[in-house]
Structure formats: structure tokens, C-alpha cells
Structure 1
Amino acid sequence: MPNLADIAEPFPGQLVAQVGVATMPVPWACHNATLAWLYHAEFGRAVTGLEFGSFFLGAQAIMGEMAKEGMTLAAPSGGGQIFVPAGTVLIFVRDGGAKHSCVMKANNLIVGYNQQGWLAGKGGDHSFSMHSTKEIRWQGGGSVLGSADQVCSLVAVPEAVARRKVREVVTRAAAPVAVGGVGG
């Protein structure tokens, strides 16, 4: 299967999710993009609109659960770069909720969508951007400034853990629902 760092590239077009008979464009926001990349890395192909609508409409909650399995990072000495492996999912967490997610590429580069305000460099609203880990706005200890100056923790989730989490979400969503039951 491909690795996440290689998959995390700009999407060629708009994904349209299907929920029942309704369709809706999927905005390439941070969590949507991170989950779509993880799906591609884990299953060896891009997620379809029907699959996205079935598995990932609760993207923020999924990323919040994923963050619980990661490690909170501390500010590097001297405000330098962080060194985590390519393919690591970075999640900005505040009050237990996932506020932003992105992916580590090689050479200490962070890629993601909707990164405006999350890092010191310019990021676009619902567009792809790449940043150096030097652009993380450390506040001391393990705190970082996020969008709108939210104070967050930065959590690193290893690629294998993130892929397992996505597989669990897909498996759970695809499992048949039991009808009836004892005494029913």
C-alpha cells in the first residue's frame, strides 16, 4: 500500500459525497482531506463520494478520537523544527476536540488543507498548502497558537495508528446493523 506522505498531495477535483439520494460537495477542509488521504493510503485507492458520505461525515469527531491515540508534542528547544516521521498525522487539539489536522511530508514539511491561521506562513481557505515545521507557533511547553489565536496542544499520531483508526471507522460503518433482538 502507498504511504501517507506520498498520498498527501493536492486533490485534482471536487469530491461529491452521496448520502442516500442527496449529493453534496465535500469542502476540502483539513479533517476531510486528512481522512481522504488516510483512506487512500490504507485501501490503495481514492475514497469515492458514496464512501465518504458513509464513513467520514463526522470528520471532526473521528479526528478527536484519533488524537487520543497520539502523543502530545513539546516545543523544540530554541523554537526549531519538530522531527517526526513522514506520514505522521498532526492534530491541533483544544478542550479535547480536534481543531485542525495535517500530514508530515519528508524534510519537515507539513501539508494540508484550510491551514490559514494555523501556521505562521500563508495558507489558503479550503485550499492546499505546504509549510515548514518552523511555522508552528509555539507558545511554550506543549502549547501552540492555532487559528484565531486558539491555544491548542499539538498531537502527533503515527501513520500506522491513524491508518488503523480509519480502517476501524470504515469497518464499523460497513458492518450490517442488527434488526430486532431478544424480546423484540
Structure 2
Amino acid sequence: MIRSAPRLETERLILRDFTRDDLDALAATLSDVEVVRHLTGEPISREDSLRRLFMAVGQWPLTGMGMWAVEQKSDGRMVGHVGFFDMERDIIPSITGLPEMGWIFDTAVHGQGIAHEACLAALAWLDATHGPIDVPAIISAENVASLKLAKKLGFLREPDGVYKGEPIAMVRRPAPLA
């Protein structure tokens, strides 16, 4: 069983396990109204950011997957997070049992290809460790940047789903051919 996030490296990034020291960076990103505009609509408190950090760490030993903190090699700054989870969401159509992908990045790195680079590394890890598998993601239909990133990563747009009584864009990366 995987006990913690494995360390992955790309040209510019290190994907690693979260530490308690990541709270300041995580809370700063999640309190940015531009970052959360399509996520919660409201800034996320420091307290709830800490809960998210604990959840990110706790998923690995329970499910064998979870979230990575994404750190820039150039300055050691944590600039976002990416990974997979099964939240057993009450969503139609159901995606329970599949590794839902999610990503959130600080506005300071938007438009630099950082999210794309991190997501590619995470998907490569998933393919290598969990075999070919469909990967769903849910994205606010108004989040044009994330929908564009999903398409660039090979996700296909599916009919909208319903989550918490609201329509939600559903995308899915088909399992790669073995």
C-alpha cells in the first residue's frame, strides 16, 4: 500500500507529499477570490485549508492515491496541488470508484504551463501504477481555463452532470491503450 505521495519530478516542478509547513501557501491560494471563483465562490478559510491539507495527506494510505503539493524547483515555492481522489460524490452520473482528477494552482503561475506539466506527471504516475483506467473530472462550466487544460490533457467533454442540484461540466480522460 502506498503510505504517502510519491515524489515526482518534471523539468520545472517537484510533486511531493504535503507537509504542515505548506499551510501558509495553501491558505493563500485558497483564499484568493480568483482561484476559488469557480470552486466555492467564496475564499476558503485558513481552518478549512488545514482540513484540506489533512485530507490530502490522509488519502494516500487509505486509497493508494491522493493529492500532491506542487513545488517550483526554481524557488522551492508551493504553487498548487494536483491529484486523484474518490469523494463518493452525490453526482449524476456517478463517478464513484473512479480516480477523479483535480487541480488548483496559484494565480501567480496561471498561463505558464505549470498546471499542464504537473497534471501530465500525475497522469503518467496513475497510468504506471494503476494501469489503464478512465479518469473523470468535474469542472464549473464557466471555468474556461480548466476546461481548456482538461482538453489539452486528453479529457473529452461529456454531457453535463448534476452536482449539489446544479449543472456541472463532466470531462473524462479515456483509459490509454495498454
Larger Rg: 1
TM over 0.5: no
Task: With the length of structure 1 as denominator, give the TM-score of the two structures.
Answer: 0.26
Larger relative contact order, structure 1 or 2 (CA cutoff 8 Å, min sep 6): 1
Task: With the length of structure 2 as denominator, give the TM-score of the two structures.
Answer: 0.27
